[in-house]
Every structure is written in C-alpha cells, then in structure tokens.
C-alpha cells in the first residue's frame, strides 16, 4: 500500500511504524507524530498512516522480549518508522545483557549509516552558536561488540581479570559510509572531515582513513581533511562552526555526535536518521533520559527533527516534493517557535514538552 490511491479514492501517504520506547519516549514520540501530521496537512501531502508497534520495557511485559519478532516482521512491510529511546540498562536479565532494541533493529535491517546533524538555533543558548554540521557515523562494526560479529559478540573474557574487545573495520563498510558522507557534503557546504585514530590504531583506523580518502578522490568538488579523534574534540569546541560533514567510525561517532549536539545547544535538539540503501528509521540521538521522564520537561525537538528527516528521505526516494516540503516545514516551525522564546528547560526556557508541541503544531497550522 505504497501507491497513491486507496479504496475510497483519497490519496494515501507513507505507512510508518511508531515505536514509543522507554523513559521520555511516551512524551516525545507522540509529540513528533502530532507535528509530522500537522506538517503533512499544512503541505497538502497525503496523510501519514501510523502503525503503533511494541518495543522496549512494555514489550518485555506484554510479549516477553524487548524486540518482538512480530514487530520486526511488521516493520519490514512498512515504508519507514520512528523509534523512541530505550532504557535497556534498566531491563531485567537476561534482556539487559542482550543486544538492545535499537541495535537489534539496526542490525536486522542493515541500517549502516547513522546521520546525526547538530545545528544551533537562533534564539536559544549554545556553546557554539554557529554550529551547523552533520556527523555521519558508521553503524555496523568498529568496536561496538554487539554488532561487529555474525554470531556471538566481539567482546569476551578469557579470565575474570582480562577483558578483550574486537574492533572490526572492513573496506566495504567504510566505503559505503564514506560515499554517504561525500554525497551528503555535495548537498551542503562541500567539506568532509574524516575523524580517526590512525596514529595509534594504524591498521584498523588506518583502513578507515585511507578508504575515506580514496572515496574522496571521486568527489573532487568536495574538500577533505582528517583529524585524530582527540584533536577533533578540541576543534569542535574551539571552532565547531567551521565543520560541515564529519565521517567517523561507530564509537567515535556516538561520542562526537553527543558532544556536537550539546555544543549546538542541547542534546535534546540532536536528531538522527538511520539508513540503509532502501530503509530509514528516525531516532533521536539522545537516550531515554530516565532522570527527567514523566515530568513533561523533555525537549521533543530531536524526535521531531528526526521524523522530519524521515519525511525528507521518503520524499527524495519517492520523488515526492510535497512530502519533502512537509519535512522542511517541521524544521522551519521548530525554528520559529524557538526564536519566539518558547523552549523547554534544557534550552533555558520554561515551556513544557506538551506546551512546546502545541506551539509547533499551531505554527504549522498557521502556515509558518
């Protein structure tokens, strides 16, 4: 049902899964859904068809596992989905020690690219006010032991006092993440920074740096430089506004994108899209924030912008300019709401999650 007609004659939009998740998920995911619906209506696109599916702590209670096979099967038949955060550290054993829900979904669908923008908002406080970069994080290997082997994990303990972790780097995976980064740079300010630690991890990180450089030769219109991860953290703080696209391996990308998100204002504004060549999953870059869950203070911006990225990705794939426009409208409405001084506490304001969401929906309805 991905065509343009339904039996009653009206157009249908994408069929999207909605996975609420844990912690602040029940607050920020419905907020993102409400804003996406309002943007689609404002753009004149066909309505989105949402499919709620169980995941996380509630799925343990109801289905006996945090990532039910039925959820994965249902996702396979949809056009994309929105994944809320999970608090897998709080799950009872054996689930706490198993691959967490987002890792399971990323692995199941081969979502190899994690696209994480960090953009400062005018009108909100930021450590680096001019920041406008995208971290392109490799999502399937590196040192993340829960996803770098086909069976078992890349972490083991030969004795109680010795723990070993494997880092896996393959030409194929580095090449495809590098292509993602360079293609993205072409649609932005045409600059890619490769972040690695090839001075110490000469073979693994050396392969990462060299393959990224090789791919860069196919993009003579894109400027390339590279930084060691330690230097990259310094340069991000000191001159974060200079960066455009940062491509890096899994663990460095996880850390750098949190840093960049916070430097741009708040981790609560940092969206992400996980993609393969034919699937996409919207997921905020932050976690489930159990410390603020249930208090109506979480910033829903990251979840809203992640969902907007999904609409834009689907619009590009379908050649649907109206759907793409709906995504742009979410970005614009969030920005103008923040400019009006309406922000949650993490950005220095006193608006609630629900109050901010209502303001963005009103902005969209007003054509903003």
Beta pairing, strands 155-159 & 162-165? antiparallel
Residue 254: active-site member = yes
Choose the binding region for ligand ATP from 9-17, 146-154, 298-306, 360-368 (rule: CB under 6 A): 298-306
Residue 210: active-site member = no
Query: Phi, psi at residue 279, to the nearest 5°?
Result: -140, 155
292 touches ligand ATP by CB under 6 A: yes
Residue 221: active-site member = no
267 touches ligand ATP by CB under 6 A: yes
287 touches ligand ATP by CB under 6 A: yes
Choose the binding region for ligand ATP from 3-11, 31-39, 218-226, 287-295 (rule: CB under 6 A): 287-295
135 touches ligand ATP by CB under 6 A: no
Given the complex with ligand ATP, which of 59 and 227 has the nearer CB atom?
59
Q: Give the side-chain half-sphere CA count within 13 A for 275.
A: 22
288 touches ligand ATP by CB under 6 A: yes
Residue 258: active-site member = yes
286 touches ligand ATP by CB under 6 A: yes
CB 193, CB 129: distance < 8 Å: no
Cis link prior to 28 (omega < 30° from 0)? no
Alpha helices (H) in the chain, listed in sequence order: 25-43, 57-63, 69-76, 101-108, 171-186, 204-216, 229-239, 250-263, 301-318, 321-339, 353-365
CB of 212 to ligand ATP, least distance (A): 25
Given the complex with ligand ATP, which of 167 and 268 has the nearer CB atom?
268
Calpha distance 85→299 (Å, rounded) = 13
Of the listed 258, 320, 325, 346, which one is catalytic?
258
Q: Which of 9, 291, 319, 367 binds ligand ATP (CB under 6 A)?
A: 291
Residue 81 CB partners (closer than 8 Å, separation 6+): 16, 17, 18, 19, 53, 75, 281, 282
Q: Which of 138, 141, 346, 363 binds ligand ATP (CB under 6 A)?
A: 346
Calpha distance 367→285 (Å, rounded) = 28
289 touches ligand ATP by CB under 6 A: yes
Residue 161: active-site member = no
Calpha distance 271→327 (Å, rounded) = 13
Task: For residue 127, count CB atoms less than 10 angstroms from its CB and return exposed for 0-12, middle for 13-18, buried for 19 or more.
Answer: middle
- Stretch 8-37: interaction string toward ligand ATP, x if CB under 6 A: ----------------x-------------
Residue 348: left (phi > 0), alpha (psi -120 to 50), or beta?
Answer: left
CB of 144 to ligand ATP, least distance (A): 12
The residue with its CB nearest to ligand ATP is 287
Given the complex with ligand ATP, which of 216 and 300 has the nearer CB atom?
300
Tokens 């930084």 belong to which residue?
227
298 touches ligand ATP by CB under 6 A: yes
- Note the residues at the interface with ligand ATP (CB under 6 A): 24, 267-268, 286-289, 291-292, 298-299, 302, 346
**What amino acid positions are annotated as catalytic residues?**
144, 197, 230, 254, 258
């Amino acid at each position: 049902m991905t065509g343009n007609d339904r039996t009653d004659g009206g157009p249908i939009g994408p069929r999207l899964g909605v996975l609420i998740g844990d912690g602040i998920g029940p607050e920020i995911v419905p907020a993102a859904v409400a804003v996406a619906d309002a943007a689609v209506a404002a753009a004149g696109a066909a309505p989105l068809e949402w499919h709620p599916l169980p995941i996380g702590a509630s799925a343990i209670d109801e289905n006996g596992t945090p990532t039910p096979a039925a959820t994965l099967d249902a996702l396979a038949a949809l056009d994309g989905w929105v994944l809320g955060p999970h608090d897998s550290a709080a799950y009872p054993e054996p689930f706490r020690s198993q691959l967490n829900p987002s890792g399971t979904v990323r692995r199941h669908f081969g979502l190899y690219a994690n696209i994480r923008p960090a953009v400062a908002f005018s009108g909100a406080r930021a450590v680096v006010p001019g920041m406008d970069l995208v971290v392109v994080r490799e999502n399937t290997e590196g040192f993340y032991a829960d996803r770098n082997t086909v069976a078992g994990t890349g972490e083991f303990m030969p004795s109680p006092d010795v723990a070993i972790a494997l880092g896996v780097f393959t030409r194929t995976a580095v090449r495809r993440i590098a292509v993602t980064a360079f293609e993205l740079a072409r649609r932005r300010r045409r600059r890619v920074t490769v972040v690695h630690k090839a001075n110490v991890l000469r073979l693994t990180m050396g392969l990462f740096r060299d393959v990224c450089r090789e791919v860069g030769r196919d993009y003579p219109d894109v400027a390339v430089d590279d930084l060691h991860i330690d230097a990259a953290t310094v340069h991000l703080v000191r001159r974060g506004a200079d960066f455009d696209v940062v491509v890096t391996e899994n663990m460095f990308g996880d850390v750098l994108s949190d840093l960049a998100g916070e430097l741009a204002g708040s981790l609560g504004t940092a969206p992400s899209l996980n993609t393969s060549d034919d699937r996409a999953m919207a997921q905020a870059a932050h976690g489930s924030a159990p410390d603020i869950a249930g208090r109506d203070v979480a910033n829903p911006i990251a979840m809203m912008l992640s969902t907007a990225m999904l609409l834009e990705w689907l619009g590009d794939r379908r050649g649907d300019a109206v759907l793409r426009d709906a995504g742009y409208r979410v970005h614009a409405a969030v920005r103008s709401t923040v400019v009006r001084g309406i922000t949650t506490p993490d950005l220095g304001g006193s608006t609630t999650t629900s109050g901010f969401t209502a303001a963005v929906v009103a902005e969209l309805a007003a054509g903003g």
